[in-house]
């Protein structure tokens, strides 16, 4: 059963979807079941993915990794999201941008998630 806020990917075409309303059944794309991304929360290897949350005068700043994540054409952070209970805000990024986002008006006790196009889904 798919649950709200879960992220799935089609291994054939690369479509990525988020569940907005969970229900019974399987998510299918290109005739095959989509793969559920598990939210990883511990860095491995030289690239750092765990979102780092900072409180600033402007709001909540989320950086990807303790060292900035690469933002290259073939390897980059596609989006950063903050979640506060049932409320979420997301910023989409492109190669060449800094792997961080500022969210105004968010409380300090949010959870952050980010999606790396190579290494998947990560959370704080």
Task: List the domains of the chain with CATH numbers.
Answer: 7-36 (2.20.28), 51-123 (2.60.40.730)
Mean pLDDT taken over the chain:
90
Three-state secondary structure call for residue 16:
strand
* Element spanning 36, H or E: strand 35-36
Round to whole Å and give the CA distance between 110 and 102: 13
Judge contact between 113 and 64, C-beta under 8 A: no
DSSP state string for 8-59: EE-TTT--EEE-SS-BSS--EETTEEPEEPP-B-S--SSS--SEEEEE-SSS
110's tokens: 């949010």
Q: What's the pLDDT tens digit per position in 69-83?
A: 899 999 999 999 999
Among candidates 28, 100, 92, which has minimal Cα distance to 58? 100
> Whole-prediction pTM value?
0.87
* Element spanning 82, H or E: strand 77-84
The conformation of residue 37, written as its DSSP 8-state character, comes to: P
Q: What does the chain come to in residues?
A: 124
Residue 25 is predicted with a pLDDT of 87
Residue 35 is predicted with a pLDDT of 95
């Amino acid at each position: 059963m798919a649950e709200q806020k879960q992220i799935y990917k089609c291994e054939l075409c690369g479509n990525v979807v988020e569940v907005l309303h969970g229900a019974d059944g399987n998510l299918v794309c290109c005739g095959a079941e989509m793969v559920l991304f598990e939210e990883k929360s511990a860095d491995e290897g030289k690239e750092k993915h765990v979102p780092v949350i900072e409180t600033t005068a402007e709001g909540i700043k989320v950086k990807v990794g303790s060292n900035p994540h690469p933002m290259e054409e073939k390897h980059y952070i596609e989006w950063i999201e903050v979640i506060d209970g049932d409320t979420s805000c997301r910023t989409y990024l492109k190669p060449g941008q800094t792997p961080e986002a500022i969210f105004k008006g968010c409380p300090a006790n949010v959870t952050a998630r980010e999606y790396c196009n190579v290494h998947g889904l990560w959370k704080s």
